[in-house]
Amino acid sequence: MADDKLIAAMAVACIAEELGTVPEHLKVVSFREVPDSPLEAYIKENNINYHKYQLGDESL
């Protein structure tokens, strides 16, 4: 639960930064959980170690 609160606080902070305001000026009405996509669900169910390739990954 503590993690969820921290994540929510961080999300609010990010949105505030995007909007160029401070978190205190935002009012959170509700949070909606976004369900996993079929691919995300498949990856989770099968414990697959997956990272979608991003440009330049090969030089890391």
Please give the residue ranges that form the binding site for other proteins (CB under 8 A): 37-39, 42-43, 48, 50, 52-60
Whichever of 25 and 32 has its CB closer to other proteins, that residue is 32
Cβ distance to other proteins smaller for residue 2 or 34: 34
To the nearest whole angstrom, how small is the minimum distance from the Cβ of residue 46 to other proteins? 8
- Smallest separation, CB 39 to other proteins (Å): 4
Closer to other proteins at the Cβ: 18 or 24?
A: 18
Amino acid at the residue 6 = L
Whole-number Cα distances in Å, 3 to 43, 46, 56 = 23, 25, 32
Count of residues for the chain?
60
> In the 8-state DSSP scheme, what is residue 14?
H
Question: Are the beta carbons of 28 and 12 closer than 8 angstroms?
Answer: yes
